[in-house]
Structure 1
Amino acid sequence: MRTSTIGDVKVLLPDLEPDDLDTTTDLTGGLTEALVEGAAWHGSHLEDVSIRSSLLTGVDLSESTWEADSLYGCEIARTDFSGATLTGITIERSAITGSRFTGTRLTDVRLKDVLFDGCRFDYATLQRVTASGSVAFTDCTLTNGAWSSCRLPRVALRSCDLGGLELESCRLDGADLRGSRLQGVKTPLDNLSGVTLDEEQLPDLTQLTVAALALTVRND
């Protein structure tokens, strides 16, 4: 295992060697120590399917449905999850980079030691997503998404675009939002209780506060 440190968050990640993995595009019964490149699994229905210690690159999982079971010890790169529905799965000790989650629905998903780097979550819906260990989003696009009843304490959201993101009944206490764009975030202020910001984000926070409290600002 290797580690990646983002701010104060240290994420445990897999260290896979492609030469040690078995090449396949067959998802039947799940994957263990598999190397998958360019598989076309658009619209697949996955139920109780686990993927462990595997490397997936350039896979098409758009419009797919994945219910229950887990993703453990995996590296996923340039994979398309757009329009997919992920329900009741656990993602642990995994790195997901350069992947697309546009319009994806994640419900009752549990995260532990997960890194999302350079991913798109625009228009994605996260409901009751929880972090039970270190979780980081770096250089991700989270615009116009909707997060509700999520429990993501101490998550790192570094250098991400949060424009237009809606937060409802979420707990982000201790989250590190430094370097992220907050302009246009739609949320009651208590959803941001205890987060860490940098000075350059204070103007965005001021605008958010004015909108959240329906304040009138007048110069006369």
Structure 2
Amino acid sequence: MAIRTFGHTTITLPELDEPGLYLSNVDSLDSTRGTVQDFAYGEADLRSLDLAEAQLVTGRIAGIRAKRVEFEQVNIHGVEIGDSEFGSARWTESKLTRVHVRDCKLMGAALDGLVLDDVLFEGCKFDFATFEKIRVTGPVAFIGCVLTEASFTDCDLSDVVFTDCTLRLTEFGTGRYRNTDLRENDLSAIRGVAHLAKVRIDPGQQSDLAEALVNELDIAIGDD
């Protein structure tokens, strides 16, 4: 098993190079049985990538460039997704378990109703993405991700780790943030500071949160 540790969080990731495991190249993620297992899928330029009521189990997705992505009730277990661009992506009512998403662009993506367990987002771009009703049931981390003007609404991000992320105008709306680890990030330009009860920060980040709150409330500071 591949294990990565970030702060107090340890994530178990898929180990796809272990002896005895063979991944078969596939031309599509669609299957009449509804399940694709032990697969490798990649290096494709697509107009659209649509999946519904499907399961992807033990595999690697790499080098996919899709102009439109629609995933509905697509559950993923033991999969690496890397070096891909998912344009106009919408992913709803799905569960991700032991998933590593690396160096992917999901700018403007709409992620709604996902359940995350042992998931690592690393070096991904989520500019303008919307996260709604995301529920975390196991270790999850965003490492080196860009979340400019992304928003989290009605999410349970308890114990989630954000490290070395760009959080410029990232909005944290109503939700649960108990022990969400925001250390090692610039928090001075985030939104929704009032919702971040019980998060974890470094002592030096107190001024960041104060600056973010002043900006959000449009407070004028001066002698006149």
TM-score over 0.5 (shorter chain):
yes
Uncovered stretches (5+) of structure 1, i.e. residues with no partner = none
Unaligned runs of 5+ in 2: none
The worse-fitting range, judged by mean Cα deviation, of 56-65 and 169-178 is 56-65
- Kindly state the Cα deviation for residue 216 of structure 1 after the two structures are TM-superposed: 4.0
What is aligned with 1:199? 203
In the other structure, the counterpart of 2:139 is: 134
SS in 1 for 2:86: coil
Report the CA distance between 1:214 and its aligned residue.
5.0
Give 1:28's aligned amino acid. Answer: D
CA distance in 2, matches of 1:130, 1:84: 19
Deviation per CA, 1:75-133, whole angstroms, max 9, x where unpaired? 11111123110010111101111011100000101111000000001100111011111
Which segments of structure 1 move beyond 6 Å, counting only runs of 4 or more?
Answer: none
* TM-score, normalised with respect to structure 2: 0.91
- Structure 1 residue 219: Cα displacement: 4.5
Cα root mean square deviation, aligned = 1.8
Range that drifts further, 210-219 or 95-104: 210-219
Higher strand fraction: Structure 1 or Structure 2? 2
Query: What number of residue pairs does the alignment pair up?
Result: 219
Q: Residues 25 and 39 of structure 1 are in contact (CA less than 8 Å); yes or no, is this contact kept in structure 2? A: no
Contact 2:193 2:209 in 1 (8 A): no
Give the whole-Å Cα distance in 2 for the aligned partners of 1:115 and 1:157: 10
Distance in 1, Cα, partners of 2:94 & 2:47: 19
Cα separation, partners in 2 of 1:202 and 1:103, compared to 1, 3 Å: same
Taking only the aligned residue pairs, the percentage that are identical comes to 27
**Secondary structure of 2:215's partner?**
helix
Confirm or deny: 8 A CA contact 2:73 2:94 kept in the other structure: yes
* Partner-residue secondary structure (3-state), 2:169: coil
Query: What is residue 2 of structure 1 aligned with on the other side?
Result: 2
Question: Which residue is 2:125 aligned to?
Answer: 120
Query: What is the CA-CA distance between 1:177 and the residue it aligns to?
Result: 0.8
TM-score, scaled to structure 1: 0.93
Moved more, 207-216 or 145-154: 207-216
| 1:59 corresponds to which of 61, 64, 67 | 64
Residue in structure 2 matched with residue 14 of structure 1 by the alignment? 14
Query: For residue 25 of structure 2, what is the aligned residue in structure 1?
Result: 23
Map 1:50-199 to 2 at 5 A: 50-189=55-194, 191-199=195-203
